[in-house]
Structure 1
């Protein structure tokens, strides 16, 4: 059983009752992704079913968003206030930082439920009681039952902040697909050759759609995917304020490989942890090198970015967030800190058992990769951590 682009598109149009997908760049990404899924991912039967359902839903979401925008042209006029964007690699504290900053009443993060099910646009009056919240919670509960280890690796919830890679998934330019499936040809195209400008234009349209009936004063966004395309991000949002999180890359690689092996193990019966680690080590270092270059050549202006080191953040989360607010010129009030403290108390780091992993399990040579990390670690003064 294989996936077919035409069948996916036709069935999505039928389900949505529409056929206008907006800007056409999405089609190349879908074609490349489907080809990689058919030829590289070694999908099992459940994997094919899951991928087909996921891709079809992404297409349906896109059709609905474009149709709503066409019927309500004022949506396209909505201004997106320069967002705060967390751009660190995954496994560096981005999720908890994102969730803490989302406790600020002035800030709004795209929540999991509204990103998964964006149509119709959420409304202020029912934002906390929309029936889609319970529907998404039920889906996440099913994931938890099937993959109990995942919840200890990554905080999930319908009301938790969602990553931008889940928004650009419906433009089919997203590293998210490379985490769920082994699709190296697609990821290499995405990182090296794909024009990311359409993805960020779609990203803006998605935020405008979410804000159509529930306006946002300030968006707080995050995604590890931004690290590879900082120029395209800032071309679309030139006044954005960036936060880059930093951690020993060898710890990042080990944690990432462990998590992705867990994810891919549900859709393929031939998952290889060491293969995943080798593949993603290259991607991770490429992203880190690009972030260094972006600082050196001025793509990311020094006055528009603040750096956070993982160890310091974990040791002093509220002091770190306070310093971020000060650097970005934002107000950090006692009320905001109180909300953040309540959230962290209700969601401690090891609430669901934590994430256990080792660098040894990656099969990578510590000395070789420590040397490879030197340029990034020296530039951002990132300390090495003890490895297992």
Structure 2
């Protein structure tokens, strides 16, 4: 039985802002935020001293993201500033990536062999599964600090540990975000050493659903879903090659040169609706697909979005948040059921949430066996150490209540996801 502290967000729909939150919002009210492509790219070039962004097709996607954000009439200036800063960071990373590939074309020769790639709804156990596997040091994974700046700045010492300047910058950013939204870590902790999802790499190509978590952007959602993502998943593969190159230690470029990288383990919920582009670019991957009751997923997801909204929206539109994310979850699931059957059966394994939570080590043993990887005594020790240090509810456990918070009845939602329960009856709440 969980002994985690139970946390109920009583002011979810009508936030009582802290002094820090009020000050941060007030300090941005008079700022002129230029949500246009030229402003973002100019800031990125000033940050890096570089000018070559590579294939300029990304500019259309960036413009669409910025237009969509500008259309979010709910958003305050703090929210707009956050989006602008994020886009500048992504454009800066793109400049550094293009520069690295220009100076080191051998990066393209690095093989990404038999990666383990996790896909599943947000809040369905993908993070726990990824971090468990990543505890085995035989795998290559990407900590959050590295995702924020995959390529080091010229002349920076690359130690790939807590001495790395990128790690230190990530610590400062985490401390700031934790002060602003202290309950985030109870729902989705993103501390610098947390093994992060590869959507941050897709963001550098401005081709992901990340923006949907930052703003109300149905326009961007529709644009993204209307375009084939196969080339952007090719960019993701290039990014894994880049990260593999910079996985050594030393000064700047001297850190690179690892042409025989470890086996990658990655995850992103977005993969659930992009399984074919994922498989096209990673044909020898093992695909782990997590499954959880979508009503539970919605409860957690919508609460997370509503909580994050307190610093970017003067009014929390609970109905709109519910409608948007119910639709988004349904789209993800329908795409998964459509496409998962086209993946090679001997490379695809379901990870069902209740079974995973009941005995996570047993499930991970099944993953190793399915993937043809030996679970050595050293690896078991590493996984056990991770579990001991990162038990569920480490930062408290949020108490979710979709009826009180969103005015929704579970039975009404049940009918919406009946198509999914038919495929995974073990998740059907009426049979449990």
The question of a shared fold, defined as TM-score above 0.5 by the shorter chain, is answered with yes
Q: 2:221 aligns with which of 164, 168, 187?
A: 187
Aligned residues between the structures: 383
Instruction: Tell me the residue number matched to 1:254.
Output: 299
Of 20-29 and 80-89, deviating more is: 20-29
Instruction: Tell me the residue number matched to 1:205.
Output: 238
Larger radius of gyration, structure 1 or 2? 2
CA distance, structure 1, for counterparts of residue 153 and residue 136 of structure 2: 22
Instruction: Tell me the residue number matched to 1:295.
Output: 340
Instruction: Tell me the residue number matched to 1:366.
Output: 410
| Cα 1:19/1:127, change in 2 over 3 Å | same
Structure 2 counterparts to residues 1-388 of structure 1, below 5 A: 1=32, 2-40=34-72, 42-120=74-152, 126-128=159-161, 129-191=163-225, 193-214=226-247, 215=258, 216-296=261-341, 298=342, 300-360=343-403, 361-385=405-429
Of 123-132 and 199-208, deviating more is: 123-132
| Cα 1:19/1:197, change in 2 over 3 Å | farther
Of 59-68 and 110-119, deviating more is: 110-119
Report the secondary structure of 1:68's partner residue.
helix
CA distance, structure 2, for counterparts of residue 142 and residue 40 of structure 1: 25
| Cα 1:55/1:197, change in 2 over 3 Å | same
Moved over 4 A (4+): 121-125
Structure 1-normalised TM-score?
0.94
Structure 2-normalised TM-score?
0.84
In structure 1, stretches of 5+ residues that fail to align are none
| Structure 1 vs Structure 2 CA RMSD | 1.9
CA distance, structure 2, for counterparts of residue 40 and residue 328 of structure 1: 44
Kept after mapping to 2: 8 A contact 1:278/1:362: no
Kept after mapping to 2: 8 A contact 1:111/1:160: yes
CA distance, structure 1, for counterparts of residue 410 and residue 150 of structure 2: 44
In structure 2, stretches of 5+ residues that fail to align are 1-31, 248-257
